Structure 1
């Protein structure tokens, strides 16, 4: 039996489309055990208690890679990361399955190999890399390999996630994106991404607002989220150092100074008057990533 704890993640981080991500202290935990026969899944909706479960699919993929044939599998899930909110819930399930299967098979794979398998399943590593390694990462993938580098963040940074009570599927969120971008928009995002990474590392928090600007996805996805533009404007008004759409949305993420204790109280007051229900949750950076307990 193996117990695997995976942190939530916020990907894209403004202009860093499909490459930037940060791990946060909200977790899914998976207990995976080899049993005598069959498949048993606990802790999720009935519709996910079958061979189409993403954790189980990831377990099978890992076993295929390492050549391990289990007699049967039992999965127990405790999921605190909200589903389809742009906080890396699917990445957590994939990593939970791959990491758990690797441990059951004798721990044959290194982290880099685990990331490669998980990325084959997910399609891109921006959530997977920070969940696996912890902290903030920049990750890219070519036809054969995944490349990751951790980013050292200033200690004066914390986050506040505005999580709505409605979901937004990644498929729908991707469907509104343009097929091509202009040269000017490409230059815009490259510059903002470089500036954002530098500001987050140096602690020059006054530059983060500019660094979070984006022309690749947020202006298109924001139209799918009720009150998105009103909320983001209010966040800046209330002192957010930078605000961005978390992953594919609909969660809206804020970067704050660690001593700012007023923002969450003030934004909560504002959110209660909106049509949809939103929950403001303070989050800190998880610098550890995946935790395994045998």
Structure 2
């Protein structure tokens, strides 16, 4: 490390070839009634290697989801997140090669942008190892700064079921362990959904009785996910956001009605258009996937990830 200054920031001089491997899970937010509050980590991952170069520049290679679509310059979200995180600690982005292998679907309500933000934050943690310690509160604050809401980045960072809220001291979270019987099913359509569009359909005010309804269901959902999976159908009822967004994703809304009528705890995953089914056992999620295959008007991919309990990791690569 040197005290040289680059653009007002100290240069972070690391041995060329130094590589940090980052692994970040997909997430599903809201879970029905827990709008902007509850999130769940899913065992579906983006893997990235960040390697310090021996010459100036930025190299980006993307494989898998997003290849040929995402930018390959400083505007890449992982790079922006990494640069921002380093800058908050007083360091400039060193010359790096970013090699990403992505499996999280983009613009489908599975936290792909949150995962990219978290990947950059975790890469900064790895590069600063032994220089600056980025604790969990700092990681959450950095990721929330860039993502805007903590409900997706909290489960991506920490795994499990997370409750996220904001205080005057910044974003906070509580991680809970999900009951072993809970078996997530994610149904992913071919079409995408803009989070900004989904949020634009949300009213600024809701009826008092709807707010009370969601408060009760959110509390019940925490109990259902951690102790009593048999309550998941009732616990995933919502009156705050899904009905308002239904016009933008009619096939999602129709299939959720079909699934719930058959007894499956189906909700919009994040901002959509994917569907999350919180089954109480593996056999139930197979039944739900078969039902959608029969009823859907267009192809939907059925993913059956486990709950991710670990969250994002960053480690020096061999």
Shorter-chain TM band: over 0.9
Q: How far apart, in 1, do the equivalents of 2:127 and 2:238 lie?
A: 42
What are the Cα deviations for residues 151-182 of structure 1, in whole angstroms up to 9, with x where unaligned? Answer: 23211111111100011011111111101122
Choose from 61, 64, 67 the match for 1:42: 61
Equivalent residue for 2:49? 31
Q: How far apart, in 2, do the equivalents of 1:195 and 1:226 lie?
A: 27
Compute the TM-score of the two structures, normalised by the length of structure 1.
Answer: 0.93
Give yes or no for the alignment of 1:247 onto 2:281. Answer: no
Q: How far apart, in 2, do the equivalents of 1:112 and 1:185 lie?
A: 33
Structure 1 residues 86-165: aligned runs within 5 Å: 86-106=109-129, 108-165=133-190
Q: Structure 1 regions of 5+ residues with no counterpart?
A: none
Equivalent residue for 1:12? 30
Whichever of the two has the greater Rg, that structure is 2
RMSD: 1.6
Q: Is the 8 A contact 2:181 2:229 kept in 1?
A: no
Q: Kindly state the Cα deviation for residue 236 of structure 1 after the two structures are TM-superposed.
A: 2.7
Please give the secondary structure, in 1, of the residue aligned with 2:308. Answer: coil
Q: Is the 8 A contact 2:122 2:313 kept in 1?
A: no
Structure 1 residues 227-236 or 97-106, which shifts more?
A: 227-236
Structure 1 residues 44-63: aligned runs within 5 Å: 44-45=67-68, 47-63=70-86
Q: How far apart, in 1, do the equivalents of 2:169 and 2:34 lie?
A: 22
Please give the secondary structure, in 2, of the residue aligned with 1:33. Answer: strand
Compute the TM-score of the two structures, normalised by the length of structure 2.
Answer: 0.87
Q: How far apart, in 2, do the equivalents of 1:94 and 1:84 lie?
A: 14
The count of residues paired between Structure 1 and Structure 2 equals: 290
Please give the secondary structure, in 2, of the residue aligned with 1:284. Answer: coil
Q: How far apart, in 1, do the equivalents of 2:93 and 2:257 lie?
A: 53
